[in-house]
Structure 1
Amino acid sequence: MNFAKMLCLGLAAVTFGVAPWQPQAEAKVKVRAVKSPVATRARDPLMAEAWRGGQQLVMEGKLNSAVRYLRRYVTVMPRSADGWFWLGRAYLAMGDHQRARNAFNRALAVDPYYPSLQPDRLDQSGMPLWPEITSPM
């Protein structure tokens, strides 16, 4: 601020009884909530049933693709018991029992009564029974 402006503000302050050098009240800034792309996609009707794509990949035996797809899906839809279930099936078919168990536990955390993960449908180790899944060759 140059000297002339300071002099004018000082004279205005003396004339009108206002101190020009007092800090001004902070301006209220209206902040717009930015929608997260994850939240937007979660409400997308196509995302609600997208786990079926992962299911199809598992059934076709494209397990690596299924895992990549379903991991992305459960990142967007972490409250999808179906997504976690099918991710667990993909891991189980790949022989990765620890990750399969983790995915099945996540499915049960979302839905404790998930039909395929009930005690009467599990083997002695706690893994779901499916005769159609065999280990990859």
Structure 2
Amino acid sequence: MSLSISITEELQTCFALRHQVFVEEQGVPVEEEQDDLDPSATHLLALQDGVPVGTARIVFNGNTAKIGRVCVLPSTRGTGLGAKLIEAAVDTARAHPGVTRAKLGAQIHALRFYEKLGFTALGPVYDDAGIDHRDMVRDFT
């Protein structure tokens, strides 16, 4: 079994994965899933044996890289793919000139997952597309 995670221009593949996880599975309104940040974002695609199984995007803003739209298919959850996808996003962010930290909006149930990957929660819980989230950051020091 081979796994690869890389920057991709295959946005429709990323959108299809996101639609399956966020819209179909989690009930995010379809009109909120894609936004005007997608065209300028850096997108990552995870392939397992050549089959798309996960994606994430990174939006660069000054010294901060915002990691978002992170999803893996149900069939690959619990395999470590999510952690590898986040580490690939962090590595991509760290390599971007001037970026000193990564930020993300974590669904509340995933806070411990991100904490294990070096992120720290900050600020209040907020609603994003009907799901409770909390911001998290990881400084590159």
TM, length-normalised to structure 1: 0.27
Higher RCO, 1 vs 2 (CA within 8 Å, ≥6 residues apart): 2
Greater radius of gyration (CA): 1
Higher helix share goes to which structure?
Answer: 1
Structure with more strand by fraction: 2
